[in-house]
Amino acid sequence: MDALVTTQWLASELGASDLRIVDATYLDAAGGRDASAEYEQAHIPGAVFMNLGELRDTDTDLPMMLPSAEKFASRMQSLGLGDGSRIVLYDTSPWHTAARAWWMLRHFGAHDVAILDGGLTKWRAEGRETAAGKEQLRHRHFTVWAGAEGVRTLDQMQRNLSSGGEQVLDARSAARFTGEEPDPRPATHAGHIPGSKNLPYTELFEADGTWKRGEALRQAFAAASVDLDRPIVTTCGSGITAATLLFGLHLLGKDGALYDGSWSEWGASRDTHKAMGAA
């Protein structure tokens, strides 16, 4: 299974015993949409709903930190996702949150994980069947494994300021990156990590919401002055769209790490603000 699959491919695979489809839409409640309610109203047949808003470390004030391996495995098992599953993710979020689910699944040991190109929007535009209500799948064992190599901490990001060992790539909008637009989180400074580069995650998509591929995708990274042959760590506001950049890198055959605390951690820290010279 490719990392990015088409609606036509998925339609031909519906009903396969090892196929698991997941709606990984995450939305800000302030935007007036309810991801769970929208899933129950219409989803791809057989799809279960992954609640990314709950699938996080709830012992921290940071918004979207990785949960424990045990919590993640338990949630996946309850969704019927487990060993031997081919997992296809989609979303209807403006932040393309299927990429966050993709990154988390791979981080915790899932091997066969893909994203549906164009998501539910493309699926419905093509007149394909949808289902309503909730899907019930039997529990399936999920063998969890988690290493630390694909995740960066605040301390590691601070050390990288002097070492410069990794390029830091920020997925937020240009206005958020420059500080022209204030951060929406209370007591969080505007701006960006010193030395980082800006590639708004929206630049990785075509006008119809499908992913750029090949040279078009490569040019998006080149336009942000990213050297694809050097190590890269991605960041954003809360760790969600940073995963979108990682998926884009994956499509180009490259891997990177994700700063999970992202700007919600860096921008609220007194130490980092001091190090930035109050910039």
Q: Please list the pLDDT of the chain residue by residue as tens digits (279 residues).
A: 999 999 999 999 999 999 999 999 999 877 889 999 999 999 999 999 999 999 999 999 999 999 999 999 999 999 999 999 999 999 999 999 999 999 999 999 999 999 999 999 999 999 999 999 999 888 999 999 878 889 999 999 999 999 999 999 999 999 999 999 988 888 788 999 999 999 999 999 999 999 999 999 999 999 999 999 999 999 999 999 999 999 999 999 999 999 999 999 999 886 775 555 433
- Domains of the chain by start residue, with CATH: 4-125 (3.40.250.10), 151-275 (3.40.250.10)
16 vs 18: CA distance, rounded Å = 6
pTM: 0.95
> Are 27 and 34 spatial neighbours (Cβ–Cβ below 8 Å)?
yes
Question: What is the residue whose two structure tokens read 């989180």?
Answer: 185
> Are 82 and 138 spatial neighbours (Cβ–Cβ below 8 Å)?
no
- The strand order across the sheet containing 4-5 reads 4-5, 113-116, 86-90, 19-23, 48-49
Token digits of residue 126: 């093509």
Which residues are catalytically annotated?
236
> Are 104 and 69 spatial neighbours (Cβ–Cβ below 8 Å)?
no
242 vs 244: CA distance, rounded Å = 5
